[in-house]
Chains A and B, each alone.
Chain A
Amino acid sequence: MDPRSAHYPRLARETLEQTPGVRDAVTQAALAFDAHRLRAYGEVDVDAWRRWAEQVKSHVLTHLDTYLEQAEARLVEHGAHVHWADDAAAARRVLDELVSRYGVSRVVKGKSMVSEELGLNDHLASQDVEAVESDLGEYIIQLLDEPPSHILGPAIHRTLDDIRRIFHEVHGTAPEATPEELCAAARSTLREVFLSADMGITGGNFVVAETGTLALIENEGNIRISTSAPRVHVAFVGIEKLLPRWSDLAVFLQLTARAATGQPVGTFVSLLHGPARDDEPDGPDEVHVVFVDNGRSRVLADPDAWEALRCLRCGACLNVCPVYRQTGGHAYGYVYSGPIGAVLAPGLLGLSETLPLPFASSLCGACAEACPVRIPIPELLLAWRRRAVDEGLTPRAERAAFRAFSAVATRPGLYRAAGRLVAATGGRMARYLPVLGSWESVRAPLDPSGGTVRRGPRHGGAAQPSDSDQTGAPGSEVEPAP
């Protein structure tokens, strides 16, 4: 998909104004996910898991070159082919070459965020290769020609009625079809695709460097079938997805599931080691793993941003985020949305292209509390904001306003004068300050209480509001020039 993150404020407003049902659908889905996570976190010593997982991912990221080489060697030993892609275009070229080598006309896809990031579906369509999404949610949004609105539940912004309508058009199911009937229609279509596809494409949740294991987590079984039925399996994997050791897997598989859906583990976990062995009844003849950089090494190089690469793509930060819940993922204009999207997008795409996203947060901190690998998302958001200011990317009027703010807030006399002005103009302030117009566009006018509270020691009795500061020691009132 083409990133449209620069338009977040408009896209968010339009979502809220034009499709109010999205907010309800997303909120209900996210709250349900989050309630499951909270229950599942409570069943185990989750803080110990999270601290340990944070350390493992920080370890692997700060030794990433070594582990990438180790993973490559093990994968090749298993008979898999390893490719490397600098960026999305390079990843698509790898795919083109494989499509042509194997004469592929039909691809079945397992749900993969990185394949969205790389724009593989549109690209395959442009090459006259049919690519069918096999995850039910992905299949629904493919029918609707929409990008995913959530890492885990790509179609959570759509209601049962929306899905009934599109299935009625495409599959001829009854207008009042039950979810089971809709599912059966998708299942029979996709079953034929699984068995006729020449290639299965997936992402990867983890690659274990020690053993060359590609690990994939899912609930439907479509990834297992996509990696088993077609004769070629291609996995696109971000370079940050490594784990050092086989023995790291057990906790990471469980932590990911608990954070994502509250399950003890995903319904299906595939632990893949290359193509089918000679004595195995089935499985792919060819396995290709494509390590994708596409901006990740740039994020890794950034001491204020690299921690975002610990992300497991569980979606917990989206579910718990009150900002995300207002709009769902589409408003973020990028495949990665919500809190993690707001810190990844500037790193992967560039700050000036994605500027509103680090500001699309009230800094409430719920995301950091939910994150299974303890990514300090509010700190990373603040770092991007600081950089936006340092690089002069924020509006000129805002820069002037904060200079004025610091001048006033370091000069008590001026501060009190400003207080008097606020009190004197009362409800008419919005006329003079655009920022207050923005405040009052959705809220009742402010009601200033009149000047500043009187300073000084108190000796009992009620204090009175005062716009002067008779008792303050004059010497302490004046800020020396910095």
Chain B
Amino acid sequence: MRDDVLARVRAALAGRERFPHPGASPSTARVTPEPGDVVDRFAASFQAAGGEVVRLPDVQRARQWVATFAAELTGVAQSPLLPPALRVEVPDAPPEQAELGVSLALHAVAETGSLLLSSAEGRLLQLLPPTHLVWVPVDRVRDTLAEALGTEAPADVSALALHSGPSKSADIGRIVVTGVHGPARVIAAVVG
């Protein structure tokens, strides 16, 4: 079967013009540049996609903020890769029962309003809890998606994911509903 498919493809291309790869991708810059620095632009685009952004000047303030934020919660699913200082002081729960999932972003992307997440921390904690909190160290905010994805795919993880705001659908009468399957609230907490 494999060889049959490939043989048909080769036969199809026999004697045909072969087009070259055009090389580097074109600029993704906006025609009208967005205002602000890269973190401002990330915040604006992430919020435009329905996400929430919290700016926290240092780890100390981050700890204070999250303690208040999570004060009422009884179970969270946290990334095992979080630095100890950013762990939430709430008992662990499996992702399907947790009220909150907590991740550490590989990168945030200003041009698309995205968080780049890795399966190394677990996938379901990014998806099943109704609220998803993603820590973003400020030096991980990138201008472009191309910068965030880098020149090579990381080979040691099974899934990278871009999350750009909460789960949404307009499949019912064209009315946008959030929290269809994934989280209804996504909070990017930018630290530093």
CB distance from A249 to the nearest CB of B (A): 6
Does the CB pair B22–A219 fall under 8 Å? no
Taking the complex as formed, is A276 at the interface, i.e. its CB lies under 8 A from any CB of chain B? Answer: yes
Rounded to whole angstroms, the CA-CA distance of A64 and B145 in the bound complex is: 26
Taking the complex as formed, is A227 at the interface, i.e. its CB lies under 8 A from any CB of chain B? Answer: yes
Taking the complex as formed, is A45 at the interface, i.e. its CB lies under 8 A from any CB of chain B? Answer: yes
CB < 8 Å neighbour of A84 from B5, B25, B157: B5
User: Quick one: given A251-B28, A254-B28, A265-B164, are A225 and B1 in contact (CB under 8 Å)?
Assistant: no
**Interface members, chain B 127-169 (any A CB < 8 Å):** 127-128, 144-146, 149, 151-153, 155-169
CB < 8 Å neighbour of B21 from A59, A220, A270: A59
CB distance from B36 to the nearest CB of A (A): 16
CB < 8 Å neighbour of B22 from A59, A156, A222, A227: A59
User: Quick one: given A55-B22, A134-B181, A246-B149, are A276 and B119 in contact (CB under 8 Å)?
Assistant: yes
CB < 8 Å neighbour of B25 from A28, A222, A239, A248: A248
CB < 8 Å neighbour of B121 from A45, A268, A281: A281
Which A residues are in CB contact (< 8 Å) with B160?
A: 270-271, 273
CB < 8 Å neighbour of A136 from B49, B174, B180: B180
Does the CB pair A273–B158 fall under 8 Å? yes
Rounded to whole angstroms, the CA-CA distance of A194 and B157 in the bound complex is: 22
Closest to B125 in A: A281
How big is the B interface, by class? 35 or more
Which of A180-188, A349-357, A364-372 is the contact stretch?
Answer: A180-188
User: Quick one: given A282-B124, A297-B5, are A274 and B158 in contact (CB under 8 Å)?
Assistant: yes
CB distance from A29 to the nearest CB of B (A): 6
Interface size, chain A (Cβ < 8 Å): 103
CB < 8 Å neighbour of A250 from B5, B25, B171: B25
Taking the complex as formed, is B37 at the interface, i.e. its CB lies under 8 A from any CB of chain A? Answer: no
> Which residues on B are within 8 Å of A, measured CB to CB?
1-2, 4-6, 8-13, 16-22, 24-32, 45, 49, 80, 95-96, 111-114, 119-128, 144-146, 149, 151-153, 155-175, 177, 179-183
Sampled A-B contacts (7; CB under 8 Å): A84-B4, A179-B177, A247-B25, A251-B26, A267-B49, A277-B158, A280-B122
> Which residues on A are within 8 Å of B, measured CB to CB?
28-29, 32, 42-45, 48-49, 51-52, 55-56, 58-59, 62-65, 68-69, 72, 78, 82-86, 90, 134-137, 140, 153-156, 158-160, 163, 179-180, 182-183, 186-187, 190-191, 194-195, 208, 211, 213, 219-222, 224-225, 227-229, 239, 244-251, 253-254, 263-277, 279-283, 291, 293, 297-298, 300-301, 303, 306
- Would you list the 3 A-B pairs with minimal beta carbon distance, nearest first? A221-B182, A160-B173, A137-B171
